[in-house]
Amino acid sequence: MNPRGGYDHLAPLFEELATLPADSPERARMRERLVTEHLPVAEHIARRFSHQGAPLEDLAQVARIGLINAVDRFDPQHGSDFMSYAVPTIMGEVRRHIRDTSWAVHVPRRLKELRLSIGGAVTELSQKLGRAPTPSQIAEHLGISREEVFEGLEATNAHHSLSLDYLLTDDPDSASLADTLGADDPELSVVDAREALYPLIKRLPERQQKIITLRFFGNLTQTQIADRLGISQMHVSRLLAKSLDTLRASLSSDG
């Protein structure tokens, strides 16, 4: 099955969907039809990842959620077809699920649940604020301390690591993980300095703000960011490095 084929007849429905009010019954019916029509795509993608140890039904459920998100977020005015947007969106959801449920070392259940709660809070607050939330805002939203937020974020380091020879798809000729790494991702050296960075990030050009947000708060890889923005992975790497150099210089001058 080719998940990208056979859906061209649904393109007009997306254009019509975009014109309907959010509370329109017709919009709800059309949205349900679009999700139902594309369910084979989600199931196909779930099966592609079933060899990685997660139960197929769990992967299928996650893939369906990714499909629903893709239908809700797709904007036909951007000029791309739905499948070009939906497939990486669904695959991203499945990959995150596998990543979030696989741990290389023993981590207390409390930290696993805390990390998931923080991830959900970041998503919700980012949509509400139009930018990535600060650790203090996350803490207030969840009713926990900033120290617990940092503790939950640090739990990310306990996730399993992949070999650089890991293939990104089932195709033996596909790119390996190493092929996607144009350069080492620069990291913010001091977690406590994050809050001081927010006003400095706002000074960056809009595209660089978006890259910083997607990389460090959206947990996307450089390749995923490149796909999202429609630019090359190497360009993302260069803009990321340039942005962090600018932020470091600003921190030094303000300090």
Are 107 and 77 in a shared domain? no
Are 193 and 243 in a shared domain? yes
């990291």: which residue's tokens?
A: 187
Nearest C-alpha neighbor of 211 from the set 181, 232, 194, 195: 232
CA–CA separation, 199 vs 179, rounded Å?
Answer: 34
Are 88 and 138 in a shared domain? no
Are 98 and 3 in a shared domain? yes
pLDDT one-digit tens code per residue, 83-120 = 888 898 999 888 888 776 765 555 566 776 787 788 77
CA–CA separation, 180 vs 165, rounded Å?
Answer: 11
Are 135 and 193 in a shared domain? no
Are 96 and 7 in a shared domain? yes
The CATH number of the domain holding residue 96 is 1.20.120.1810
Over residues 63-91, mean pLDDT: 86
The last residue of one of the domains, among 51, 81, 102, is 102
CA–CA separation, 172 vs 195, rounded Å?
Answer: 44
pLDDT number for residue 158: 53
Are 84 and 114 in a shared domain? no
Are 25 and 41 in a shared domain? yes
Contact 104, 159 (CB under 8 A): yes
pLDDT band at 121 (very low <50, low <70, confident <90, very high): confident
The last residue of one of the domains, among 161, 178, 200, is 161
pLDDT number for residue 58: 87
75 compared with 64, residue with greater pLDDT: 64
Helix axes 233-254, 222-229, angle to 10 degrees: 110
Over residues 47-69, mean pLDDT: 86
pLDDT number for residue 147: 84
pLDDT at 123 over 80: no
CA–CA separation, 160 vs 106, rounded Å?
Answer: 11
Task: Give the chain's end-to-end CA distance (angstroms, integer).
Answer: 58
The CATH number of the domain holding residue 186 is 1.10.10.10
Are 75 and 135 in a shared domain? no
Are 223 and 173 in a shared domain? yes
What pTM does this model have?
0.41
pLDDT one-digit tens code per residue, 8-44 = 777 888 888 888 888 888 888 988 999 999 999 999 9
Are 121 and 214 in a shared domain? no
Are 215 and 192 in a shared domain? yes
Contact 140, 128 (CB under 8 A): no
CA–CA separation, 46 vs 28, rounded Å?
Answer: 25
Query: How many domains is the chain partitioned into structurally?
Result: 3
Dihedral sign from CA coordinates of 42, 48, 52, 53: positive
In the structure encoding, which two tokens stand for residue 171, read together? 């195709």
Domain that holds residue 113: 103-161
In Å, what is the CA distance from 198 to each residue of 57, 92, 213?
40, 26, 10
The last residue of one of the domains, among 145, 161, 177, is 161
